[in-house]
């Protein structure tokens, strides 16, 4: 027979046993979840992966309209206009070549057109021999080259250089010689355009259209203001093929002259197009001579380079 003290302790013991039972149940349930949760996640991941698996076809790689861009979307090329604004070529068409050039306020994100593309398109269309679709393509090209103030842009039409000036909405022709003009750029003051023509460095005055050849010894293997394979690929980086630089006051140009005559020739076949083409590169193999480079400085108005 229990005393009053024992009877008083009885419910407390039962209550403690009840709390332990609840904790035991919680621990058991938690352990069950720990076991089953990873298993469930495995089934979910495997099921999702199987659902996403598709065959890679030739159309995915080569079709001009439906091919997949496996390179992703790199950040756009930005260029500062002043302390608070930058220029941005915003893609508007498939393939990445058609863009709208905009001016962005860095503090607020406000976007406005960098220039009136419709006016530029109309001005280009007035150039003899330029069709309407070509004019539109040029006005929305990612490859426009601007001056420092973004008030003018260099255009290439049928291998000749033109300048579009936003202030007076007109296109000025700068060159009239047959053949490709490469690596064109504005002088810092915006008054001149430099370019490489037949491996020689040239400058043209925009106002007078007077053109000067700053070098005359360019040849198939003598490059003035233009990088060869070695200097582009191994020194300056792929895609950086221009080999000249304006002085800040626009009075002089420093340039590299690269002599590829000591370099062995390497032939490659480009079999990506429907019709194969043979490409010739000055490519030194291990142990072969490298190109000979020297740095020259020449006045933009012309004269003999200083080496």
Is 36 within a domain? no
Same domain for 224 and 164: no
- Give the total residue count for the chain: 307
Is 163 within a domain? yes
Same domain for 169 and 252: no
Is 250 within a domain? yes
**End position of a domain, from candidates 173, 192, 225:** 173
DSSP reduced 3-state for 105: strand
Is 45 within a domain? no
DSSP H or E stretch at residue 9: helix 4-52
**End position of a domain, from candidates 122, 149, 173:** 173
Is 193 within a domain? no
Is 126 within a domain? yes
| Rounded Cα distance, 153 and 123, in Å | 13
Is 58 within a domain? no
**End position of a domain, from candidates 154, 173, 192:** 173
Q: What is the pTM of this model?
A: 0.74
Is residue 206 a contact partner of residue 221, using CB atoms and an 8 Å limit?
A: no
- pLDDT per residue of the chain (307 residues) written in tens, 0 to 9: 444 444 444 444 444 444 445 445 544 455 555 545 555 555 555 555 555 678 889 888 888 888 888 877 666 678 999 999 999 888 876 555 678 999 999 999 999 999 999 999 999 999 999 999 999 999 999 899 999 999 999 999 999 999 999 999 999 999 999 999 999 999 999 999 999 999 999 999 999 999 999 999 999 999 999 999 999 999 999 999 999 999 999 999 999 999 999 999 999 999 888 889 999 999 999 999 999 999 999 999 999 999 9
Residue in the block written with tokens 């690269």: 258
- Residue 174 structure tokens: 């700068």
Q: Residue 91 is part of which domain span? A: 77-173
How far is C-alpha 304 from the chain's CA centre?
Answer: 36
Is 290 within a domain? yes
Angle formed by the axes of helices 117-125 and 132-139, nearest 10°: 140
The pLDDT, as a whole number, for residue 43 is 54
Same domain for 222 and 161: no
DSSP result, the chain: ---HHHHHHHHHHHHHHHHHHHHHHHHHHHHHHHHHHHHHHHHHHHHHHHHH-----HHHHH-TTT---TT--PPPPEEESSSSEEEEEEE-STTS-BEEEEEEETTT--EEESS-HHHHHHHHHTSTT--HHHHHHHHTBTT-EE-TTSSEEEEEETTEEEEEETTTTEEEE----SS-EEEEEE-TTSSEEEEEETTEEEEEETTT--EEES----BTTEEESB--HHIIIIII-TT--B-EEE-TTSSEEEEEEEE-TTSPEEEEEE-SSSS-EEEEEE-PPTTSPPPEEEEEEEETT--PPB-
The pLDDT, as a whole number, for residue 99 is 86
Overall number of domains in the chain: 2
Same domain for 158 and 114: yes
């Amino acid at each position: 027979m229990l005393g009053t003290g024992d009877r008083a302790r009885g419910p407390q013991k039962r209550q403690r046993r009840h709390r332990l039972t609840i904790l035991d149940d919680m621990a058991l349930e938690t352990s069950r979840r720990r076991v089953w949760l990873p298993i469930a996640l495995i089934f979910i991941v495997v099921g999702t992966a199987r659902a996403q698996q598709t065959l890679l076809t030739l159309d995915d790689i080569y079709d001009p309209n439906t091919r997949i861009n496996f390179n992703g979307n790199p950040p756009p090329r930005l260029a500062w206009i002043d302390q608070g604004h930058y220029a941005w070529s915003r893609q508007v068409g498939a393939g990445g070549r058609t863009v709208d050039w905009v001016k962005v306020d860095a503090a607020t994100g406000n976007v406005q057109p960098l220039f009136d593309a419709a006016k530029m398109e109309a001005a280009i269309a007035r150039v003899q021999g330029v069709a309407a679709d070509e004019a539109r393509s040029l006005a929305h090209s990612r490859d426009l080259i601007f001056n420092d103030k973004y008030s003018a842009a260099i255009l290439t039409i049928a291998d000749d250089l033109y300048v579009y000036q936003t202030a007076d909405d007109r296109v000025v022709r700068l060159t009239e010689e047959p053949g490709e003009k490469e690596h064109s750029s504005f002088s810092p003051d915006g008054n001149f355009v430099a370019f490489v023509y037949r491996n020689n460095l040239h400058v043209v005055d925009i106002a007078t259209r007077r053109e000067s050849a700053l070098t005359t010894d360019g040849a198939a293997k003598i490059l003035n203001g233009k990088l060869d394979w070695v200097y582009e690929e191994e020194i300056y980086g792929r895609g950086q093929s221009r080999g000249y630089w304006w002085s800040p006051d626009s009075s002089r140009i420093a340039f590299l002259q690269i002599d590829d005559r000591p370099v062995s020739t390497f032939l490659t076949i480009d079999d990506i197009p429907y019709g194969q083409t043979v490409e010739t590169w000055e490519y030194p193999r291990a142990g072969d001579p490298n190109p000979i480079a020297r740095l020259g400085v020449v006045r933009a108005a012309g004269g003999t380079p200083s080496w």
